[in-house]
Amino acid sequence: MRKIVIIGGVAGGATAAARLRRLDESAQIIMLERGENVSYANCGLPYYLGGAITDRSRLFVMTPQLFQNNLSVDVRTRHEAISIDPLSKIVHVRNLVDGSEYSETYDSLILSPGAEPIRPRIDGLNDPRVFTVRSVPDIDRIKEFVDSRRPRRAVVVGGGFIGLEMAENLHARGVTPILVEAQDQVMTGLDFEMAAVLHQHMVDQKLELFLSETVVAVAQAADRLKVVLKSGKEIPCDLVVLAIGVKPESSLAKAAGITLDERDYIVVNDKMQTSAPSVYAVGDAVCIHSPLLGTSTVVPLAGPANKQARIVADQIVLGEKAPRYQGSIATAIAKMLDMTVACTGLSEKACARAGLAYSSVTVHPSHHAGYYPEAKPFSLKVVFDPNTGRIWGAQAAGFDGVDKRIDVLAAMIGMNAHVRNLEEFEHAYAPPYSSAKDAINYAGFIAGNVMNGLTRSAYWHQVDSFIKDGSVLLDVRTAEEFALGHIEGAINISNIELRKRLHEVPRGKNLVVYCGVGIRGYLAERILRQNGFDDVANLSGGFKTYEMAMGLKSYHASAVFTEGSGMPEQLAMRSHDVITVDACGLQCPGPIMQLKSAMDKAMPGSRLLVKATDGGFVKDAKAWCNLTGNLLVGMEQNAGIYTAIIEKAAPALVPMNTPMQNSMVVNGNEATLIVFSNDLDRALASFVIANGAAATGKKVTMFFTFWGLSVIRKTENISVKKDFMGRMFDLMLPRSVHKLALSKMNFGGVGALMMKKRMQAKSVEQLEIMMQSALKSGVKMIACLMSMDIMGVAREELIDGVEIGGVATYLEAASKANVNLFI
Ligand code: FAD
């Protein structure tokens, strides 16, 4: 009869014991556990604090009694192994209840001692209000503190999954968590821009985040605590949870002469054997093989611990027939206030550290068919080797469908899959579950296009250098989307208009095309490439990824309630007339377009209750309200659905809080501009304003009169019969925008030339391009009939698209306008 002693009775130890019994009915199995409990759900501890798990007994998967009764395992809780003698195959044990000591022989010994929370050497950590969490008694203490002391604020130190889960569950108990993380991001298995999705979500949910900050002390502050950061900032709080990582409990193994690595993890082979004969080790205390890196790694997670434990039992009982451990690719997932973040394999950072060739694709699809209710966008990034196509890793963040995609990708990575396998990955599809082309397929399509040279990816972190080296950033979204936010310095030609406006795209320069999420950017890239633009790249993940990473979305949804607290539905009901707009499943600019169209039909004072799932809607709705003068009454997020209440402003109440509105808002939604001057700079100003106003949805009328007629004259000389005065004016009126002079410092035309060069250098569109854009966006250009008559300008001399009108035409437009400028 073989005798097996197991040290540690939770994840690895308990699994090994159960498997051993199933394989060998006659074995003597002794499980030593220092603590009071065995086989409990340490992963469930934060949720017991938060209240998702209400029944404490549910934390215990097996009790010592059940182990004894059901599996005939000799479980000895409160028994600590204090030394191992591998040569004699003896474990020395202390009974922690009575202090007695004894020895136990073994045929095989399994070490599953786990890892303990790191406690840095800083002042103040001995305060009883500073907690760590590893075991049931730990969570009991924290829960008791929260129940009895009703703390208001907690500092959670560490942004790994335990820190995040503790923050979430403190939040669930009404304690405001403040998260402090030494790195510039939480969940370091993710690349920065993917972690940034979660950063934004946490901030939106009123969680304070201190990134790139370390705690240097915890001090008493009256009857509270204060956490002192290296930067000098001090955070008052009522309790502190330390979750800065774990260190292996390997001192027992070390004292027994068992080989450890440089970080004190127990070294094991693929049979999970240590350097000592008949001694095996599993779980958080061991370093294991990384099949991706080909080196050793540590993955202190429950999944690997359980799988290793099963293999050890098999090794002990089945010997050579038993499977060997293939290593871990580190697949992890965490939930944070409805949002899920997950990763598997290597990030770009990890590839860079390891010197591996890598490329990546990022997509932002919906978790199921966009037309099926409550489709929620999520972000998926796949990292791969651009030379071989091997998939290195994947990361995802969102409200739904994240776990499914990461698990599929983890399985594929485990089987050394190629990005081509993603293209053909065949999934179970019906609208409530996914789309006919799933996010995983899309990632594969793009990666495949990268590999065969159909597209070249540019990345958010390269944008600064693109701007510096004079590359042209081409935003191919609509003018509306562009107006709501874009990369500084980008020019805007929507992909729909691109074919017609190719002449506006600078040649001979590196072009970086971008759209909202990458699809239209790719379409534009293909148009450009097939029209002789060779140096084109598409910004991976589009403006959404760039914006997430750059933290432009600093707007906090929770901060906009203007009517006290209340659910958006209740806020909406305070108005007489409520219009519901369901924009769920639509990606930008879909929600804003729906909002605009519903608002156009609404009466002043009525309220719109807009539901959207696109995260960009939070910022866009606010920007749109600012631009249009409507009132954003409230915004909230619940399980990935953003609900905004927007009130159509009564004309007299329209706020004047943006630069554009200061000069423009009187009433109505029209703007009129009288262009009297034929100075180049004044003409420029008039078209900048006209296009800007048109982009915000205004109906714009430009009335060209007297000298302003020059601006709309054709370049070519049109032969028209003129009288003497007409011929005189013909000489005085510059022919077309190309001949306009600056109002100041023209220097015989040199100034105007310099201005044009400067505009080109700064990627400002030339006047003629602005004029074309204005016509395309519906700006009405009217030539003043009376001025034409006086100055002898004929209809044929004016550019196409210009209408002829009298003062009455102008006055009619002006009377409806809320802007009337004389330039
Ligand atoms: P443990 O499960 O920690 O068990 C080790 C046991 O050995 C301990 O009970 C210890 O008392 C005992 N022991 C140590 N030395 C001795 C000795 N000399 N004599 C006797 N007994 C000894 N992982 C995930 O994959 N997903 C999650 O969601 C997740 N959530 C977590 C949440 C929390 C709060 C915590 C703490 C961990 C979480 N983990 C999660 C990690 C996961 O719990 C561990 O990876 C896993 O428990 C490791 O198993 P193990 O057997 O190596 O160690």
Written as six digits, the tokens of 794 are 């004929």
Choose between 596 and 173: higher pLDDT: 173
CB distance 35 to ligand 1 below 6 Å: yes
Mind spelling out the 3-state secondary structure of 343-393?
Answer: EEECCHHHHHHHCCCCEEEEECCECCCCCCCCCCEEEEEEEECCCCCEEEE
| Rounded distance from Cα 114 to ligand 1 centre (Å) | 5
| Rounded distance from Cα 175 to ligand 1 centre (Å) | 26
In the chain, the amino acid numbered 269 is: N
CB distance 113 to ligand 1 below 6 Å: yes
In the chain, the amino acid numbered 463 is: V
In Å, how far are 567, 644, 676, 735 from 803, measured between CA atoms? Answer: 50, 41, 16, 18
CB distance 303 to ligand 1 below 6 Å: yes
Which atom of ligand 1 lies closest to the CA of 79? Answer: 20
Average pLDDT (687-698) is: 83
Alpha carbon distance 522, 534 (integer Å):
14
Choose between 323 and 772: higher pLDDT: 323
The pLDDT, as a whole number, for residue 776 is 85
CB distance 168 to ligand 1 below 6 Å: no
SS3 at position 519: helix
CB distance 169 to ligand 1 below 6 Å: no
CB distance 134 to ligand 1 below 6 Å: yes
| Rounded distance from Cα 8 to ligand 1 centre (Å) | 9
Which atom of ligand 1 lies closest to the CA of 300? Answer: 45
Choose between 588 and 148: higher pLDDT: 148
Cα 212 → chain centroid: 18
The pLDDT, as a whole number, for residue 763 is 67
Mean pLDDT of the chain: 89
Global pTM?
Answer: 0.75
When mean pLDDT is compared across 341-355, 433-447, 582-596, the lowest value belongs to 582-596
- Site of tokens 């989307």: 481
Q: Which of 6, 10, 134, 168 to mutate to test the pocket of ligand 1 (most atoms within 8 A of CB)?
A: 10
Average pLDDT (694-710) is: 87
Average pLDDT (42-46) is: 96
CB distance 116 to ligand 1 below 6 Å: no
Q: Which of 6, 36, 43 to mutate to test the pocket of ligand 1 (most atoms within 8 A of CB)?
A: 43
* Opening angle at CA 295, ends 410 and 306, nearest 5: 50
Nearest CA to ligand 1 atom 31: 43
CB distance 7 to ligand 1 below 6 Å: yes
Alpha carbon distance 766, 691 (integer Å):
13
Q: What pLDDT band is residue 14 in, cutting at 50, 70 and 90?
A: very high
| Rounded distance from Cα 283 to ligand 1 centre (Å) | 8
Alpha carbon distance 345, 347 (integer Å):
7
Question: Residue 412 in contact with residue 331, Cβ under 8 Å?
Answer: no
Average pLDDT (467-493) is: 91
> Which pLDDT tens digit goes with each residue over 104-161?
999 999 999 999 999 999 999 999 999 999 999 999 999 999 999 999 999 999 999 9
Average pLDDT (535-555) is: 83
> Which pLDDT tens digit goes with each residue over 498-534?
999 999 999 999 999 999 999 999 999 999 999 999 9
Nearest CA to ligand 1 atom 49: 11
Written as six digits, the tokens of 571 are 């806020």
pLDDT tops 60 at residue 666: no
Q: Percentage helix, strand, coil, to 5, in the chain?
A: 35, 25, 40
DSSP secondary structure letters along 172-214: HTTPEEEEEESSSSSSTTS-HHHHHHHHHHHHHTT-EEEES--
In Å, how far are 278, 655, 672, 776, 813 from 700, measured between CA atoms? Answer: 85, 20, 6, 12, 9
Which atom of ligand 1 lies closest to the CA of 252? Answer: 18
% of the chain surpassing 90 pLDDT: 64
CB distance 46 to ligand 1 below 6 Å: yes
Alpha carbon distance 779, 71 (integer Å):
82
pLDDT tops 90 at residue 586: no
Question: Residue 528 in contact with residue 513, Cβ under 8 Å?
Answer: yes
CB distance 41 to ligand 1 below 6 Å: no
Q: What pLDDT band is residue 662 in, cutting at 50, 70 and 90?
A: very low
Starting at the edge strand found earlier in the chain, the sheet holding 215-221 runs 215-221, 224-229, 234-237
> Which pLDDT tens digit goes with each residue over 775-791?
888 899 988 877 888 88
When mean pLDDT is compared across 98-107, 548-557, 571-580, 703-712, the lowest value belongs to 548-557
The pLDDT, as a whole number, for residue 655 is 39
Nearest CA to ligand 1 atom 53: 114
Could you tell me which residues are beta bridge partners of residue 247?
116
SS3 at position 227: strand
Q: Are strands 224-229 and 215-221 parallel, antiparallel or unpaired?
A: antiparallel
In Å, how far are 12, 60, 445, 672, 815 from 820, measured between CA atoms? Answer: 76, 74, 51, 5, 9
Average pLDDT (45-73) is: 95
Choose between 617 and 401: higher pLDDT: 401
| Rounded distance from Cα 160 to ligand 1 centre (Å) | 16
| Rounded distance from Cα 331 to ligand 1 centre (Å) | 17
Which atom of ligand 1 lies closest to the CA of 115? Answer: 3
When mean pLDDT is compared across 23-32, 210-219, 312-321, 577-586, the lowest value belongs to 577-586
Query: Which residue is catalytic, options 43, 515, 588, 625?
Result: 43
Question: Residue 520 in contact with residue 589, Cβ under 8 Å?
Answer: no
| Rounded distance from Cα 143 to ligand 1 centre (Å) | 20
> Which residues of 246-321 form beta strands (DSSP E)?
246-248, 266-267, 279-281, 286-289, 296-297
Q: What pLDDT band is residue 570 in, cutting at 50, 70 and 90?
A: low
CB distance 146 to ligand 1 below 6 Å: no
pLDDT tops 50 at residue 29: yes
Q: Which of 284, 336, 341, 406 to mutate to test the pocket of ligand 1 (most atoms within 8 A of CB)?
A: 284
Nearest CA to ligand 1 atom 12: 8
SS3 at position 615: coil
| Rounded distance from Cα 724 to ligand 1 centre (Å) | 99
CB distance 253 to ligand 1 below 6 Å: no
pLDDT tops 60 at residue 389: yes
Spatial CB neighbours of 787, under 8 Å, sequence gap ≥ 6: 704, 705, 706, 708, 709, 793
Which atom of ligand 1 lies closest to the CA of 134? Answer: 36
pLDDT tops 70 at residue 552: no
- Site of tokens 């020059």: 710
| Rounded distance from Cα 270 to ligand 1 centre (Å) | 21
In Å, how far are 337, 394, 485, 516, 589 from 616, measured between CA atoms? Answer: 18, 23, 10, 10, 9
Q: What pLDDT band is residue 569 in, cutting at 50, 70 and 90?
A: low
Q: Is 237 a catalytic residue?
A: no
Which atom of ligand 1 lies closest to the CA of 13? Answer: 51
CB distance 539 to ligand 1 below 6 Å: no
In Å, how far are 287, 361, 480, 534 from 511, measured between CA atoms? Answer: 46, 19, 22, 9
| Rounded distance from Cα 280 to ligand 1 centre (Å) | 17
Written as six digits, the tokens of 711 are 């601006």
CB distance 34 to ligand 1 below 6 Å: yes
CB distance 162 to ligand 1 below 6 Å: yes
Q: What pLDDT band is residue 693 in, cutting at 50, 70 and 90?
A: confident
| Rounded distance from Cα 488 to ligand 1 centre (Å) | 49
DSSP secondary structure letters along 59-89: GBSS-HHHHHHHH--EEEETEEEEEEETTTT
CB distance 42 to ligand 1 below 6 Å: yes
The pLDDT, as a whole number, for residue 664 is 30
SS3 at position 817: strand
Highest-confidence range of 89-93, 557-561, 762-766, by mean pLDDT?
89-93
> Which pLDDT tens digit goes with each residue over 274-310?
999 999 999 999 999 999 999 999 999 999 999 999 9
